[in-house]
């Protein structure tokens, strides 16, 4: 005597039920009295399906046998020209989502690269640390122009802010020349290293057009 299968939560999760149960409609189908919509069929409806690929909102109630027949004849490209069918096939590869051309000068990709934690609305401070790190690592700006690490180091050597005006840079350069030049120190050459760094820093800023 075979023992009947009673799923714990009311759902049969077996991959292949026994043959005597395979054709049995689900419980919800056994409880209602709606008949199959197929012409001349007197069986109870067991499956609710879309009428066609173009009429997905309109449903049909079919028995198991007519549902299999309906599915076997289902043709998504029915009524389409070959060109329309190919376009629909390609669109489904990307899930009908729009795509953008990627390139070095593409505005969308450039904007995506520019965005970061600092552009997010973060009222709870979740990305606060990331924003601080981004701010620290970002290049300083001078009159709307980014300042390179080498130029920033030159400003530091002259003990000036990146925003210092050209006149202030020239005055500080002249001041440090007098301070470190051997003739101004009684022939003492101990400050020659600092003097060379000052001259190099001034040349960097001059080439950049900052003074």
Could you give the CA distance from residue 119 to residue 121 in angstroms, rounded to a whole number?
7
155 — pLDDT class (breaks 50, 70, 90): very high
Residue 160 within a domain: yes
**11 found inside a domain:** no
162 occurs within a structural domain: yes
Q: Is 205 exposed, middle or buried (0-12, 13-18, 19+ CB in 10 A)?
A: buried
Domain at 176, CATH number: 1.10.287
- pLDDT band of 1, cuts 50, 70, 90: very low
Q: Is residue 59 part of a domain?
A: yes
The better pLDDT of the pair 110, 205 is held by: 205
Would you say residue 140 has pLDDT above 60? yes
pLDDT at 125: 63
Domain that holds residue 26: 19-72
- Helix count and strand count (H, E) for the chain: 9, 4
Band of pLDDT at residue 197, cut at 50, 70 and 90: very high
* Residue 63 burial (C-beta neighbours within 10 Å; 0-12, 13-18, 19+): buried
In a domain, 89, yes or no: no
Report if residue 60 sits inside a domain. Answer: yes
Comparison of pLDDT for 210 and 131, the residue scoring more? 210
Cβ contact 120:114 at 8 Å = no
Higher pLDDT, 208 or 80: 208
- Would you place residue 203 in the very low, low, confident or very high pLDDT band (cuts 50, 70, 90)? very high
Tell me if 131 is assigned to some domain.
no
Q: Looking at the 3D structure of the chain, how many domains does it have?
A: 2
Domain membership of residue 180 (yes or no) is yes
């Amino acid at each position: 005597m075979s023992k009947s299968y009673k799923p714990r939560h009311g759902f049969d999760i077996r991959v292949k039920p026994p043959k005597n149960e395979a054709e049995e409609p689900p419980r919800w189908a056994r409880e209602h009295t709606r008949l199959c919509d197929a012409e001349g069929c007197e069986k109870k409806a067991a499956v609710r399906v879309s009428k066609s690929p173009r009429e997905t909102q309109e449903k049909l109630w079919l028995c198991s046998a007519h549902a299999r027949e309906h599915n076997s004849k289902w043709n998504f490209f029915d009524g389409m020209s070959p060109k329309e069918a190919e376009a629909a096939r390609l669109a489904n590869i990307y899930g009908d989502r729009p795509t953008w051309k990627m390139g070095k000068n593409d505005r969308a990709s450039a904007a995506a690269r520019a965005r970061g934690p600092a552009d997010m609305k973060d009222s709870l401070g979740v990305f606060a640390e990331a924003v601080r790190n981004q701010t620290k690592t970002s290049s300083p700006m001078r009159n709307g122009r980014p300042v390179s690490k080498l130029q920033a180091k030159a400003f530091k050597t002259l003990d000036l802010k990146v925003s210092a005006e050209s006149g202030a840079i020239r005055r500080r350069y002249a001041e440090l020349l007098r301070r470190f030049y051997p003739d101004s120190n009684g022939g003492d050459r101990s400050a020659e290293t600092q003097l060379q760094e000052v001259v190099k820093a001034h040349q960097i800023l001059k080439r950049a057009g900052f003074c």
